[in-house]
Chains A and B, each alone.
Chain A
Amino acid sequence: MSTAAAAPVKTMPEHHYLNATYGIRSWLLTVDHKRIALLYLASVTFFFFIGGFFAMMIRLHLLTPSGYLLSADTYNRMFTMHGVAMIFFFLIPSIPAVLGNFLIPLMIGAKDLAFPKINLLSWYVYVVGGAFTLYSMVSGGLDTGWTFYTPLSTVYSNSAVAPAVVGIFITGFSSILTGLNFLVTIHTMRAPGMTWFRLPMFVWAHYATSIVMILGTPVIAITLALAGMERLFGLGFFNPAMGGDPILFQHLFWFYSHPAVYIMILPAMGVISELIPTFARKQLFGYHFVAAASLAIAVIGFLVWTHHMFLTGQSTYAALVFSFLTFLVAIPSAVKTFNWVATLYGGSISFDTPMLYAFGFLGLFLIGGLTGLFLGCLGTDIHIHDTYFVVAHFHYIMVGGAIMGYLGGLHFWWPKMTGRMYPEWLARISALILFVGFNLTFFPQFLLGYLGMPRRYHVYPPEFQVYNVMSTAGASILAIGYLLPMIYLTWAAFCGKVAGDNPWPATGLEWKTQSPPLTENFEVTPVVTWEPYDFHNRPDLGLDAVAANGVVPAHGDD
């Protein structure tokens, strides 16, 4: 698409949050939600690298049936630390603490979150928790699996369980504080005219996520505290040798950890709900349903946790109920998916990078969600429980869904965050590499699991080698797919083309201020008079002027 040659040269605004103050102190003591978001961005990226390193070790080791790289013990440590780093320190904070932190006040027209200092505190809490966990990783490692099942974690393991448990316990509070801050902010800080049903879906998604954070996280905190005290002081709740019950630990653990998977996916769904209308140039189909589906997922997500424990000898009746509820939770997820597809229908779609990620999300989340139903079905779960099928399932959701959403969001809002545009073609190519690498890594794992390869073993029968080699090959492609955006996004933050206030253009309030925004976000508090994702009654976007008979598609780099 060509723009008129007379288009003015865009320049960076003179004052913005990035150049408001200088020096390391101005960052470490900042209470600006945008800077805190960047602090989070740096720290979750750090943990992503650590987790990624462990992942590469796992995949390299599994290249041959007998495993050539690591000892059995080290292998156990690798997959455990991979899970801990990725789940607790990357995925859970990723979208909420980075994009959510940055965008929620902007999207609702507020100057900041309700409690800026608590926001900063939450980052420090995260860092302290991360430090404990890193300490565990370097001082003997951790070999209990990210699930910390007892009595392995409390009695038998001789790896550094205690510091890891303490670290995750602490980090939990960072997530609680973030959730609390979001809830209060969304309730009390909306700009005039920003009614509940004018909120961007991203905000709704974070509202639902925050509910899960504040109701679920305290339970994992007390659970890990009890497990920790059991290891250190010999409390007996989870120790069968003392009459305690390890299954109780699993109940408590999954009461949080199943909802936690929605902490990871709901924000990604929120991102997708922003991307699709913007790049299809259509109002989000069924706004109220999508919002309600977020809340429904948050609530029903709390009612399904024992589907992780079908094979522990739990009551058959309970299993039946929980299996049924597991099927129920798929409904709101499906509602969302159908609504996104319906939004696409008849839209004028453009294939900018964020949209490529959104498409990736749609397909991969679909596969991930549907295989979840295989697992939630009592009969089939007996066959595929604790196999690579489960591994593939949750990677389709967490990597294919959540990380695709995260990257799509990062690309979409990068011009807002940094004021600069990334190189579009390179970005499109890496999105493609990522998609291919991802499927090559994880699709064979469905087959492996279905054929019976158990998870968490460091050797496997030779007939499984083909799929494992494919998976490892895919993982190396995937690694490139992650490294590329990391590099060009960093480059673009300093040297990219100046983006302007609203490069796509998109409809949200965050685009009504300059890029990068001022420290106080808006010069005057905006007043909202339009409906969400409405491209037609928005002369300020300049769309109707260009194409009188319809809305022009989005454009990025040109």
Chain B
Amino acid sequence: MSEQEHSEHIVPPATYLAIILTLLFLTGTTIWAAFVNLGRFNIVVALAIATLKATLVVLFFMHAKYSPKRTKLIILAGIFWLALLLGMTLSDYITRVDYRGVRFPISQVSQQLPAQRG
């Protein structure tokens, strides 16, 4: 049992306080940034800030910084697989070109279809 004690890293509450203040600050930043017209980069900034916040939560609140390599590997695997799901699927959509050479989104066929259960 004594072994277990020193294998566990205890993060002091002061660190947590610093983290939460940073998180709140970043929340303010992201709202502020949303009101600035950055064109298509609005979403990039929003996701970057969100990722920064998530990283802080994972590293400190969830102690990943002090966890064994295996835990870090699991986290990375999760991110990687999520990226696979999103990236590879969207890669189909954004490289689609129809026979007229029109890029996706190709004009909707939706309106002609009946909406109700047959």
Q: Do chains A and B touch in the complex (CB under 8 A)?
A: yes
Binding site for B on A (CB under 8 A): 155-156, 158, 187, 215, 219, 240-243, 248, 251-252, 255, 302-303, 306, 313-318, 321
Q: Is the CB of B113 within 8 A of A240?
A: yes
A302 and B115 in contact (CB under 8 A), knowing A251-B89, A315-B95? Answer: no
Q: Indicate which residue in B84, B92, B97, B110 contacts A302 across the interface (CB closer than 8 Å).
A: B84
Q: Hey, which chain A residues are within 8 Å of B114, CB to CB?
A: 241
Q: Is the CB of A255 within 8 A of B89?
A: yes
Does B88 touch A at the CB level, under 8 Å? yes
Does B117 touch A at the CB level, under 8 Å? yes
Q: Is the CB of B117 within 8 A of A318?
A: no
A240 and B110 in contact (CB under 8 A), knowing A156-B118, A315-B93, A315-B97? Answer: yes
Q: Which A residue sits closest to B117, measured CB to CB? A: A155
Q: Is the CB of B91 within 8 A of A318?
A: yes
Binding site for A on B (CB under 8 A): 70, 77, 81, 84-85, 88-89, 91-97, 104, 108-110, 113-118
Q: Indicate which residue in A187, A241, A306, A315 contacts B96 across the interface (CB closer than 8 Å).
A: A315
The CA-CA distance from A318 to B110 in the complex, in Å, is 24
Q: Is the CB of A241 within 8 A of B115?
A: yes
B37 to chain A, nearest CB (A): 27
The CA-CA distance from A219 to B96 in the complex, in Å, is 24
A318 and B95 in contact (CB under 8 A), knowing A240-B110, A241-B115, A243-B108? Answer: yes
The CA-CA distance from A240 to B77 in the complex, in Å, is 34
B111 to chain A, nearest CB (A): 8
The CA-CA distance from A318 to B85 in the complex, in Å, is 14
The CA-CA distance from A252 to B77 in the complex, in Å, is 19
Q: 7 tightest A-B contacts by CB?
A: A318-B92, A315-B95, A241-B115, A315-B96, A317-B95, A251-B89, A241-B113
Q: Hey, which chain A residues are within 8 Å of B115, CB to CB?
A: 155, 241-242
The CA-CA distance from A390 to B107 in the complex, in Å, is 32
A240 and B109 in contact (CB under 8 A), knowing A215-B81, A318-B91? Answer: yes
Q: Is the CB of B70 within 8 A of A187?
A: yes
The CA-CA distance from A315 to B108 in the complex, in Å, is 16
Q: Is the CB of A314 within 8 A of B92?
A: yes
Q: Which B residue sits closest to A187, measured CB to CB? A: B70
Q: Hey, which chain A residues are within 8 Å of B85, CB to CB?
A: 219, 255
Q: Hey, which chain B residues are within 8 Å of A315, CB to CB?
A: 91-97, 104
Q: Hey, which chain B residues are within 8 Å of A242, CB to CB?
A: 110, 115
A231 to chain B, nearest CB (A): 9
Q: Hey, which chain A residues are within 8 Å of B108, CB to CB?
A: 243
The CA-CA distance from A243 to B104 in the complex, in Å, is 14
The CA-CA distance from A251 to B116 in the complex, in Å, is 24
Q: Which A residue sits closest to B94, measured CB to CB? A: A315
Q: Hey, which chain B residues are within 8 Å of A251, CB to CB?
A: 89, 92
13 A–B contact pairs at CB < 8 A?
Answer: A155-B116, A158-B118, A187-B70, A219-B85, A241-B114, A241-B115, A243-B108, A255-B85, A302-B81, A303-B84, A315-B95, A316-B97, A321-B91
Q: Which B residue sits closest to A231, measured CB to CB? A: B117
Q: Hey, which chain B residues are within 8 Å of A155, CB to CB?
A: 115-118
The CA-CA distance from A315 to B99 in the complex, in Å, is 11
Q: Hey, which chain A residues are within 8 Å of B70, CB to CB?
A: 187
Q: Hey, which chain B residues are within 8 Å of A243, CB to CB?
A: 108, 110
Q: Hey, which chain B residues are within 8 Å of A240, CB to CB?
A: 109-110, 113
- What 16 additional pairs, Cβ within 8 angstroms, besides A155-B115, A243-B108, A255-B89? A155-B116, A240-B109, A241-B113, A251-B92, A252-B89, A255-B85, A302-B81, A303-B84, A303-B88, A315-B91, A315-B93, A315-B95, A315-B97, A315-B104, A318-B88, A318-B91
B17 to chain A, nearest CB (A): 34
B87 to chain A, nearest CB (A): 11
B78 to chain A, nearest CB (A): 8
The CA-CA distance from A314 to B40 in the complex, in Å, is 25
The CA-CA distance from A155 to B115 in the complex, in Å, is 8
The CA-CA distance from A27 to B2 in the complex, in Å, is 39
Q: Which A residue sits closest to B96, measured CB to CB? A: A315
A307 to chain B, nearest CB (A): 12
The CA-CA distance from A242 to B110 in the complex, in Å, is 7
B98 to chain A, nearest CB (A): 8
Q: Which B residue sits closest to A152, measured CB to CB? A: B118
The CA-CA distance from A303 to B104 in the complex, in Å, is 22
Q: Hey, which chain B residues are within 8 Å of A252, CB to CB?
A: 89
The CA-CA distance from A506 to B8 in the complex, in Å, is 42
